Amino acid sequence: MGYFLTQLARLAENVALAIGSHLTIAVGNIFFLGGSTMFCFGAYALAISQKLGVDPWLAAAISLICSFIFSFLFVLAYTKLSNDSFTVFTLASMLAFEALVKSWDDVTGGVLGIAGIMRPESIGKLKELVIFQIIFMIILLFAEYVILKTVLGRSLLGMRESKQFVESLGTSTKMIGGAAIISSSLMAAAAGVTTVWRIQFLDASFGSVAMLILSVTIAILAAKPKIRWLMLSAIFVTFLPEVLRFTPLPSAMVGHLRILIYSVMLIIVLLTISKKLMPQKRFI
Amino acid sequence: MPKEILEISNVSVKFGDAMILKNISFSVNEKEIVGIIGPNGCGKTTLLNAISGFVPLESGTISYNGQDIMDLPPYKRAQLGIGRSFQHAGIFRDLSVEDNIVIGLEKAEKYPWYWMFTPKFRNKTDRTVKESLEEVDLLAHRKSLAGILSGGQIRLLELARLKLFHGNILLIDEPTAGVAPVLRTQLAAIIRKLNREHGFAIVVIEHNLKFLFDLVDKVVVLVDGEKYMEGKPEEIQKDKRLQEIYFGGSV
């Protein structure tokens, strides 16, 4: 039962994390790789607030507000940098944040991390937490569905093909991209909050490259800007490495192999499927 | 005296070391149709891109309704009222035909972001989409992806969206490119309607000279990035040098 609940929780967390990447990468073709940084940021903001004695729900709210403010750093980079430089910047943000977390011992606990993070009383048991996470995942999926129906979604879909076409209609692509990055960051931060409530421990490896590869793999494998594609992709990517559990490999190796599987999958997806599913950029 | 709405003055555009446009000047009056012709690579599309704000100017000025628009990004110029269609049609092929109209409509009408959840706006949108698509015989394709339409239908869809644009000038780049001859008359009729009924001034680039001369009030001829001449279609057609050198003897 515990294994089943944990897998469900992981699926809900992965979907919540990947929705943001899906919105930016698969829908808007904006290669925003800061999702895992925001996942980690949200978790740390929560853990530090709780360490200071703040109630878990209030800490979650503080975490989301801080994440909202922090996400403007990415928006600023998006408006100032070229596409490629922006992608590198968002990737580097993860390494910078990890270095900051490791070196700022007093606040983050350094490499030892922060232990004993409490869940809110109402979702204190794992089963309750998983139900909460699934409801939360459905809310986020619905949020993406609504976004896709609004001017933001349509403009993002338009930007997949040509930013110039969208601008020619009187829409600022910087504003649309910025809104997508903020939404994506908030979703990732919220995923970080619920994840840290489940594992109740946090260290610098929390939002590592593995999380980044995982979320980007789900987003790119989904490719089409449809919620059902995202769900199918998340289910596939979450459960595929579980076959390793039925092999006689040591558990430490299984962890590394999981990352390897995600990486190989991402490369295969980038080389094959994404080319067929992602629209061709058009120029004026 | 017709009111001048767009003034291009000594505009030069440089890509790297290559001078693409050299000191181009002309103006567009209210409700006037201006055609731009010239051989391939002479800078016609670059000129429209410069007016729309997609390429920076090396020198010169562009003003719209007496306002200098040089520092404005493309979307601000569109908000001011400079509409644009593109050489390869600015239609989003991954969006439905309906959404291609809606994406223009919601911006032009300044709908609130939540409009699709309110019956008032939904009904209004539904009506406008229906009327727009009916006018260009695309209603049957309303829910289809725009990418499956033929070249001519894509052009018609683009013009249907331009009709909803709130502004007073449209920059149309090669409307007949990739369009079957049978649809060209319909395209010309729609462009004329945009001008006469909706009051748009139009700057149109076109290689099909018969199509263009039947449509426009004034022609600007570009050769090698420079303005070779400007005048009424009849004057352009009479120019001996142009006939011999550019049009190969006769128009």
Name the closest residue on chain A to residue B96, using Cα atoms.
A154
Residues in A closer than 8 angstroms to B74, CB to CB, are 164, 167-168
Cα atoms in the Cβ-side hemisphere of radius 13 Å centred on A183: 28
* A223 pLDDT above the threshold of 80: no
**Interval B137-178: pLDDT, tens:** 899 999 999 999 988 899 999 999 999 998 889 999 999 888
* B246 pLDDT above the threshold of 90: no
User: What is the pLDDT at residue A29?
Assistant: 86
Confidence label for B251 from pLDDT (cuts 50, 70 and 90): very low
**Is position A155 within any domain?**
yes
Residues in A closer than 8 angstroms to B163, CB to CB, are none
The domain total for chain A is 1
- Domain with A263 in it: what CATH number? 1.10.3470
Kindly report the number of other CB atoms within 10 A of residue B115's CB atom: 19
User: What is the pLDDT at residue B173?
Assistant: 93
User: What is the pLDDT at residue A105?
Assistant: 84
Confidence label for A90 from pLDDT (cuts 50, 70 and 90): very high
Q: List residues of A whose CB lies inside 8 A of any B CB.
A: 149-152, 154-155, 157-158, 160-162, 164-173, 279, 282, 284
Q: What sign has the CA pseudo-torsion A56, A219, B100, B78? A: positive
Residues in A closer than 8 angstroms to B177, CB to CB, are none
- B13 neighbors B50 (Cβ within 8 angstroms): yes
* A273 pLDDT above the threshold of 90: no
**Is position A189 within any domain?**
yes
**Is position A284 within any domain?**
no
User: What is the pLDDT at residue A39?
Assistant: 93
- If you write DSSP's letter for every residue of B194-226 in order, what string do you get? HHHTS--EEEEE-S-HHHHHHH-SEEEEEETTE
What is the domain range of residue A190? 2-276
How confident is the prediction for chain A on average, in pLDDT? 88
* A205 pLDDT above the threshold of 60: yes
Backbone angles phi, psi at B176, to 5 degrees: -95, 5
**Is position A283 within any domain?**
no
Partnered with residue B21 across adjacent β-strands are B13
Nearest CB partner across the interface for A171, out of B49, B102, B107? B107
* A195 pLDDT above the threshold of 50: yes
* A274 pLDDT above the threshold of 70: no
User: What is the pLDDT at residue A280?
Assistant: 65
Residues in A closer than 8 angstroms to B92, CB to CB, are 157-158, 161-162, 165
User: What is the pLDDT at residue A281?
Assistant: 66
Residues in B closer than 8 angstroms to A157, CB to CB, are 92, 94-95, 99
**Interval A41-62: pLDDT, tens:** 999 999 999 999 999 999 999 9
**Interval A1-18: pLDDT, tens:** 688 888 899 899 989 988
* Beta pairing class for B201-205 and B169-173: parallel
**Interval B191-224: pLDDT, tens:** 999 999 889 999 999 988 888 998 999 999 998 8
Question: How many angstroms away from the CA of B247 is the closest CA of chain A?
Answer: 27
User: What is the pLDDT at residue B195?
Assistant: 92
pTM for the model stands at 0.88
Higher pLDDT, A75 or B245: A75
Q: Do A172 and B75 touch (CB under 8 A)?
A: yes
Q: CA torsion angle for A90, A92, A93, A96 (degrees, to 10)?
A: 180
**Is position A144 within any domain?**
yes
The average pLDDT across A102-131 equals: 88
* A109 pLDDT above the threshold of 90: no
Rounded to two decimals, the ipTM of the complex is: 0.90
Closest by CA to A42, choosing from A222, A231, A210, A211, is A211
Partnered with residue B169 across adjacent β-strands are B82, B201
Task: Give residue A223's region: left, alpha or beta (phi > 0; psi -120 to 50).
Answer: left
**Is position A103 within any domain?**
yes
How many angstroms separate the CA atoms of A190 and A16, rounded? Answer: 8
How many angstroms separate the CA atoms of A118 and A55, rounded? Answer: 9
First to last CA, chain B: 31
Burial class (CB in 10 A: 0-12, 13-18, 19+), A278: middle
User: What is the pLDDT at residue B178?
Assistant: 80
**Is position A194 within any domain?**
yes
Residue A6 is encoded by which pair of tokens? 């944990």
CA distances for B35 relative to A142, B27, B203, B236, angstroms = 49, 12, 6, 11
Name the closest residue on chain B to residue A224, using Cα atoms.
B94
How many angstroms separate the CA atoms of B159 and B148, rounded? Answer: 17
Burial class (CB in 10 A: 0-12, 13-18, 19+), B199: exposed
Confidence label for B36 from pLDDT (cuts 50, 70 and 90): very high
Question: How many angstroms away from the CA of A86 is the closest CA of chain B?
Answer: 20
The average pLDDT across A241-265 equals: 80
Confidence label for B249 from pLDDT (cuts 50, 70 and 90): low
Name the closest residue on chain B to residue A279, using Cα atoms.
B94
Higher pLDDT, B246 or B70: B70
CA distances for A53 relative to A40, A59, A197, B117, angstroms = 20, 9, 15, 41
